[in-house]
Amino acid sequence: MAHLVWDWNGTLYNDLDAVIEATNASFTELGLPAITLERYRELFCVPVPKFYERIMGRIPTSEEWDVMDETFHRHYWRSSRSSVLAEGAAALLAAWQDEGRTQSVCSLAPHDRLVPLLGEHGIAERFVRVDGLVGRNGGGKGDQMVRHLAALDGISPDRTVVIGDAVDDALAAAQAGAHAVLYAGGSHGRASLERAGVPVADSLTEAVAFARELAA
């Protein structure tokens, strides 16, 4: 039976407005011009310092990174208080669980912030496991995804589909031996997602439909 691994930010959680506000606050600290949503979705990548390199023309120094990282998170956690679940997310999660299927969350959001958020939005009970970031991560999600799937007792990676909004989600799925579907309503535009070579969905409903086919 298929298992879904959900990304959080930009996938289940519609927080792009908060991300743009926080990103521009961090840019202001270094005298960089503001970025639009369209430009962000065109340029954003993981690891995040590579995204800043695309903006600045170089990798930020450690001092600049510390300033931008602190500023981003301070503004993000304030602005994201008004963020909501993506359209249809709650119903999709409930329907998948009602079918007797399992699902989990693997995210680079801080674990101690992620777990309460799932409860606040009334979806914590939908997941058999939740893994957020513990400590700092200068790279992508691959190693975390491998650990996440290894901890899912009795669930085979080849029957698992990762649903996320970034190319890094597809790379992480491949590293862990799982399938992937990318959602074009988050941090990346469709054109960049299609280069990952996996199905790209315009809605979470379509993403789940693709997942059913991949893990059939």
In the chain, domain spans:
3-14+84-214, 16-82
Q: Locate 205 and state its tokens.
A: 């409903």
* CATH number assigned to the domain covering 3-14+84-214: 3.40.50.1000
Q: Give the pLDDT confidence score for residue 49 in this predicted structure.
A: 85
Which of 38-52, 64-78, 119-133, 201-215 has the weakest average pLDDT?
Answer: 38-52
Query: Checking DSSP bridges between strand 84-85 and strand 13-14, what pairing results, if any?
Result: antiparallel
pLDDT band at residue 47 under the 50/70/90 scheme:
confident
Distance CA 29, CA 134 (A): 26
Q: Give the pLDDT confidence score for residue 31 in this predicted structure.
A: 94
pTM listed for this prediction = 0.94
Residue 137 scores a pLDDT above 70: no
Query: Phi then psi for 78, rounded to 5 degrees?
Result: -75, -50
* CATH number assigned to the domain covering 16-82: 1.10.150
Residue 139 scores a pLDDT above 80: no
Q: Give the pLDDT confidence score for residue 120 in this predicted structure.
A: 97
Q: Specify the DSSP class assigned to residue 123.
A: -
Residue 149 scores a pLDDT above 90: yes
